[in-house]
Amino acid sequence: RLTGFFQADIAWFGQDENNRRTLGNGNLVNGDLQDGADFRRARLAAVGDAWDNVSYMLEMDFAFPGRPSFMDVWLDIDDVVGKNNLRIGQFRQPFGMDGQTGVKDLTFLERALPFAFSPFRQIGAMGYGNSDDQLRTWAASVYRFPTGPYGGNVGDNGGYGISARTTALLIDNGDQHGLFHLGGGYSFIDPANDAVQYRSQPEIFISESGGAVLPLVPAEVLPFVDTGPVAVDHVNLFNFELAASRGPLHAQSEIVYAAVQQRGNPSVSLPGAYVQAGYVLTGESRSYNRQNGVFGRVNPKCSVGKQGGIGAWEIATRWSYLDLTDANVLGGRLNDVTLGLNWYLNPRTKFQWNYIHAMLDNPIYGDSEADVYAMRAQVDF
Amino acid sequence: RLTGFFQADIAWFGQDENNRRTLGNGNLVNGDLQDGADFRRARLAAVGDAWDNVSYMLEMDFAFPGRPSFMDVWLDIDDVVGKNNLRIGQFRQPFGMDGQTGVKDLTFLERALPFAFSPFRQIGAMGYGNSDDQLRTWAASVYRFPTGPYGGNVGDNGGYGISARTTALLIDNGDQHGLFHLGGGYSFIDPANDAVQYRSQPEIFISESGGAVLPLVPAEVLPFVDTGPVAVDHVNLFNFELAASRGPLHAQSEIVYAAVQQRGNPSVSLPGAYVQAGYVLTGESRSYNRQNGVFGRVNPKCSVGKQGGIGAWEIATRWSYLDLTDANVLGGRLNDVTLGLNWYLNPRTKFQWNYIHAMLDNPIYGDSEADVYAMRAQVDF
Amino acid sequence: RLTGFFQADIAWFGQDENNRRTLGNGNLVNGDLQDGADFRRARLAAVGDAWDNVSYMLEMDFAFPGRPSFMDVWLDIDDVVGKNNLRIGQFRQPFGMDGQTGVKDLTFLERALPFAFSPFRQIGAMGYGNSDDQLRTWAASVYRFPTGPYGGNVGDNGGYGISARTTALLIDNGDQHGLFHLGGGYSFIDPANDAVQYRSQPEIFISESGGAVLPLVPAEVLPFVDTGPVAVDHVNLFNFELAASRGPLHAQSEIVYAAVQQRGNPSVSLPGAYVQAGYVLTGESRSYNRQNGVFGRVNPKCSVGKQGGIGAWEIATRWSYLDLTDANVLGGRLNDVTLGLNWYLNPRTKFQWNYIHAMLDNPIYGDSEADVYAMRAQVDF
């Protein structure tokens, strides 16, 4: 079965002078973010069952820099140990609620800043399952790290990681009448070639390749915070997640903490966190996926079209934080505040508007600010 | 729903000595076009309805230099204002009849030379519709320009375009008994980074990448005319189209005119034109698409295969012209005369033969000529 | 119709010091093969009928270096001359049993070493058919050579090849009760730009691109034998194949011989050969494809899953040989011995384990050895 989706984005940027200087490392032109439009994601996937206990997914993204890049490419074998399943291939490693939330179902255009630490898609094997009452989920995986855009990793010197995540619904009165979710995750990563790099754009990404006749300006949104390559023995990642919903309101928050064991330098501690909330003006509740322990999408009660509805309208806000500065690591600290408006025309089409205010503290250039105005059109099938 | 097609081409070239000198900019070896075979286009697309009033297309071309390149990637919302639809994403901007004709339905291997001016696929938004009697169509769009192979464009300094096209059927006795079509288009383009480049191959394109052990010769058909990058404030494009059909005969002609407002140089005027006609020997008429105001394909009355037919056979000829020389812009003038033979085995499979005689007037190297013999096999699904 | 498959591999390498020195051309670090995991192949294809006598395939591989690379992209017209079919596009040229065997159905992770000589996928045209009793098959083709990853080839100076293959079943008591297969192939190749290069990894391939923060080590398995570019007038390739099966046992063997007519150097003779056998412990027989004259896959009698079976288990072994050293051509000689274990969970999912012992004789650095331990998970749909 063929499935897929795309996201067409447009964005405008405003930066103070010190922000341009910071991003351009002293050069105002090199740090001048350009307005633009592009496809953030464009994916085709084959998904289905190969046998009564074996399912598969083969998904490619044509908009990512790999052009195309490997996304979910895995086979699942059901009920390998009890009711627990085994997944082999490339998939999203179990760590964090934001990372496990489907990218088609995000409340904002991008995941929150602490996502920079997430191992996310790597090639490996995972066991996962949930309790019979679907109040608890668990998953644990082992993988090669870091996996490149085509799903490969090589290296004798390290190159392995493990991840685990577990969640519990402490209150479950159904999607509409109240949920309270608690979760935690852990990863140990010994990267190939003994180096890691953490960085993040300010929760927006627009890029272009090869279009303009004369390429004079930055072709993509530059990272606001960036550790550069850091020589490490290994990294320990910790994650704690909290979420709740009731009626048209939903909220979630996570804290992520990276304990980076440097080679030849002291260990550093890099924290991140976010809090977000959404309120559906038209009264719908956001769905919750009990198999995976994450929120799903907002489905309008009355879609635009022959049903004659106005779809679902949602307002949302988020604060997120990422600190990549500690000891000799001078990656910078970033705070983002986002306001969002989402229009769900029908269960498979939505428009999104985000205003993002980014407050950067760079250890060399000091404080600076930027504003982003962005829109997205998304359809999935 | 999965759809797609491919075109497998083979071509042989003959050039006079001055043509090799011109294309090689004085070097006979560098300008020696190589015989070859390749896939001109190979596309897979997902197309369908996301909702009762929302349709989508996500099409990738695996043979274009982007490998793969974004083609039609859009979502359509029906009846947004009256019977007019809204399209968002990347799509063919409304300008010119040749550009709007589906590439699977072209009478010759390539579109005519003036297509070099067409904005064609860009990322943007378009409103379009037609009159209830389907005698008139209209479309208007706004977009980022120029959009790269992955559907993106960035740039604060310009980077926008608008296009509009309208058509009318002055005579409509049905596809078989006589049609007379009139149309016009306009575009205003303020390109990102204030530069444009117009160029064209002689209506044939064969290329190779990475195959040969020793790459000694031009890997692709070089442009015969090429302005190089031209610094501009903006460009105005005008287009006028005329078409008719009756029984097995169909004909169409267009004039395109680019008024290029240079930066620091006088404005230049670059014209192009073509006239083409086809005659289906087996008596079928070429279909006409009343929603879009373009010709469709020739469907054989009796296909090869179990129907025991010989398919449809068509002969065709075209003259086309492109003048990229004016004032300080020294792109050259090209006249092409083409003879074509098409064999439609069934509605979804065809073979095509083209003989192209290209007459080039280069402002530095003077007059030269080249001959192209080419074949295509095409299947769509 | 959408079809496809993927193969996720993991491998560990052991090399003696001289093997690292040989592969690194004197540098032990550059020749140190890295353990790793990747997707060896990941393919999506559209396949079906365009008309009652026309079928097509449009297949892309997203894991190959072309990313994506053209695989089978052809249209078939049935019964063009008698019961013989015509194929146009890119396809596997008819030469050798190993090359004609579907990559999903291979007994080992990779084809045997002599496959290095095979023209394999090229853009061209082929006539093929079989006798009414399906005891004999034949195929002959003409093509451009060498075709690049995107299905193209250009070049006035040569660039053509022809291939032919014929097979016969001398004994045919059905797939389970005994088959004896004989076959032969021939190719004449006049490559574009008058050069060929033959090389081979030791029947394993793992690679990575762009993943690691610091790229310090070989990103892929290096060729053990490699002629480098050889200037040639043309090449004659000869192939002889022998295969048999009875009950759970199947075996096949091929000899390939390349007669390379060098330019400005004497002709050289480069031979290759392999013998392999497999035994299905659970008693199934390997299927044989009578249209194409190759072995198919092992289908378990009782699959894992709701049928409650253990699938099919197979053990296999292979010796293969490739000699790329003769006169001034110093490519090296390689002997590989492989032990394999295959677990077919169901007809569309399998796991494979290979141990490969590679014995290299390099004309500069002398004898060296390497061991490979590799696993694969494969699903097709």
Concatenated DSSP letters for A320-343? EEEEEEETTEEEEEEEEEEEEEEE
pLDDT confidence bin for A142, thresholds 50/70/90:
very high
Q: Chain C: nearest CA to B299, how far in angstroms?
A: 13
Q: Tell me whether C60 touches chain B (CB under 8 Å).
A: yes
CATH code, B141: 2.40.160.10
Supply the pLDDT for residue C156.
Answer: 83
A77/C216 touch (CB, cutoff 8 Å), yes or no:
no
Residues of chain B with confidence (pLDDT) below 70: 66, 208-217
CA distance C162 to B135: 54
pLDDT confidence bin for A212, thresholds 50/70/90:
low
A358-364 average pLDDT score? 98
Q: At residue A210, does pLDDT exceed 90? A: no
Q: Which two tokens stand for residue A254?
A: 């996570």
C181-194 average pLDDT score? 95
Q: Chain C: nearest CA to B103, how far in angstroms?
A: 18
CA distance A36 to A56: 36
Q: Chain C: nearest CA to A113, how far in angstroms?
A: 20
- Structural domain total, chain B: 1
The 10 Å CB-count burial string (b at 16+, else e) for C111-136 is bbbbbbbbbbbbbbbbbbbbeeeebb
A154/C217 touch (CB, cutoff 8 Å), yes or no:
yes
Q: Which residues, including other chains, have CB under 8 Å from residue C307's CB and lie 6 or more apart?
A: none
Residue A183: C-alpha distances to residues A258, A273, C253 (Å): 17, 14, 57
pLDDT confidence bin for C209, thresholds 50/70/90:
low
Q: At residue C213, does pLDDT exceed 70? A: no
Q: Which residues of B touch C56 (CB under 8 A)?
A: 6, 379, 381
C217/A193 touch (CB, cutoff 8 Å), yes or no:
yes
C377/A75 touch (CB, cutoff 8 Å), yes or no:
yes
Which tens digit of pLDDT belongs to each residue from C121-145? 999 999 999 999 999 999 999 999 9
Which tens digit of pLDDT belongs to each residue from C303-358? 999 989 999 999 999 999 999 999 999 999 999 999 999 999 999 999 999 999 99
CB-CB contact of C116 with C200 (8 Å) = yes
Positive or negative torsion for Cα B106, B109, B114, B120: positive
Supply the pLDDT for residue A1.
Answer: 93
Q: At residue C212, does pLDDT exceed 70? A: no
Interface mutation target, options A32, A208, A302, A349, chain B, most CBs of B under 10 Å: A208
Q: How far separated are the first and last CA of chain B, in Å rounded?
A: 11
DSSP single-letter state for residue A193: G
CB-CB contact of B203 with B108 (8 Å) = yes
Q: Tell me whether B213 touches chain C (CB under 8 Å).
A: yes
Q: Considering the domain boundaries, does residue B337 fall inside one?
A: yes
* Between C156 and C209, residue with greater pLDDT: C156
Q: Considering the domain boundaries, does residue B74 fall inside one?
A: no
Q: Considering the domain boundaries, does residue B31 fall inside one?
A: yes
Secondary element (H or E) of residue C37: strand C36-51
Supply the pLDDT for residue B218.
Answer: 74
Supply the pLDDT for residue C210.
Answer: 57
Q: Considering the domain boundaries, does residue C371 fall inside one?
A: yes
C8/A153 touch (CB, cutoff 8 Å), yes or no:
no
Tracing tokens 């003077």 back to the chain, one arrives at B366
Q: Considering the domain boundaries, does residue B52 fall inside one?
A: no
**Contacting partners of chain A (3+ CB pairs under 8 A):** B, C
Supply the pLDDT for residue A218.
Answer: 74
Tracing tokens 């286009």 back to the chain, one arrives at B41
Q: At residue A68, does pLDDT exceed 80? A: yes
B62/C60 touch (CB, cutoff 8 Å), yes or no:
yes
Name residues 154-173 of chain C within 8 A of B (Cβ). 154-157, 159
Which tens digit of pLDDT belongs to each residue from A309-359? 999 999 999 999 999 999 999 999 999 999 999 999 999 999 999 999 999
pLDDT confidence bin for C220, thresholds 50/70/90:
confident
C215/A193 touch (CB, cutoff 8 Å), yes or no:
yes
Q: Tell me whether C9 touches chain A (CB under 8 Å).
A: no
Q: Which residues of A touch B235 (CB under 8 A)?
A: none
Q: Considering the domain boundaries, does residue B208 fall inside one?
A: yes
| Residue % of chain C over a pLDDT of 90 | 90
Nearest CA in chain B to A43: B58
Q: Which residues of A touch B89 (CB under 8 A)?
A: 6, 8, 39, 377
Q: At residue C217, does pLDDT exceed 80? A: no
Average pLDDT, chain A: 95
| Residue % of chain A over a pLDDT of 90 | 90
Q: Which residues of B touch C66 (CB under 8 A)?
A: 67, 210
Q: Residue B231's beta-bridge partner residues? A: B195
Q: Tell me whether A263 touches chain C (CB under 8 Å).
A: no
Q: DSSP readout, C255-292?
A: EEEEEEEESSS--EEEEEEEEEEEEETT-PPEEEETTT
Q: At residue A213, does pLDDT exceed 80? A: no
C152/B206 touch (CB, cutoff 8 Å), yes or no:
yes
Q: Which residues of C touch A154 (CB under 8 A)?
A: 34-36, 38, 206-208, 217-220
Supply the pLDDT for residue B212.
Answer: 63
Q: Tell me whether A372 touches chain B (CB under 8 Å).
A: no
The 10 Å Cβ neighbour count of residue A318 is: 23
Q: Chain A: nearest CA to C355, how far in angstroms?
A: 19
DSSP single-letter state for residue A302: S
Q: At residue A216, does pLDDT exceed 70? A: no
**Contacting partners of chain C (3+ CB pairs under 8 A):** A, B
Name residues 113-132 of chain B within 8 A of A (Cβ). 123-124
Q: Chain C: nearest CA to A60, how far in angstroms?
A: 8
Q: Which two tokens stand for residue C91?
A: 């396809």
CA distance C337 to C318: 6
What are the phi and psi torsion angles at B97 (to 5°)? -80, -40
Q: Which residues of B touch A218 (CB under 8 A)?
A: 154
Name residues 293-322 of chain C within 8 A of A (Cβ). 303-306
Which tens digit of pLDDT belongs to each residue from A163-200? 999 999 999 999 999 999 999 999 999 998 889 999 99
CA distance B90 to B69: 11
Q: Which two tokens stand for residue B262?
A: 């240079």
Q: Tell me whether B1 touches chain C (CB under 8 Å).
A: no
Count how many pairs of residues, chain B against chain C, have C-beta atoms within 8 Å. 160
Q: Chain C: nearest CA to A149, how far in angstroms?
A: 7
Nearest CA in chain C to A75: C379
Residue A297: C-alpha distances to residues A280, A289, B54, B56 (Å): 11, 9, 18, 20
Q: DSSP readout, B60-100?
A: EESSSTTSSEEEEEEEEEEEEETTEEEEEEEEE-S--HHHH
Q: Chain B: nearest CA to A185, how far in angstroms?
A: 36
Nearest to C328 by CA among C266, C270, C271: C266
Q: What is the ipTM of this complex?
A: 0.95
Secondary element (H or E) of residue C48: strand C36-51
Residue A369: C-alpha distances to residues A14, A29, A105, A361, B141 (Å): 9, 16, 28, 9, 34
CA distance C149 to C153: 10
Which structural domain range is residue A43 located in?
Answer: 2-380
Q: Tell me whether C32 touches chain A (CB under 8 Å).
A: yes
Interface mutation target, options B13, B64, B207, B213, chain C, most CBs of C under 10 Å: B213
Q: Chain A: nearest CA to C25, how far in angstroms?
A: 20
Tracing tokens 């627009």 back to the chain, one arrives at A206
Q: Which residues of B touch A35 (CB under 8 A)?
A: 154-156, 159
Which tens digit of pLDDT belongs to each residue from A218-233? 788 999 999 999 999 9
CB-CB contact of B219 with C148 (8 Å) = no
| Chain centroid, CA B381 distance in Å | 21
Supply the pLDDT for residue B129.
Answer: 97
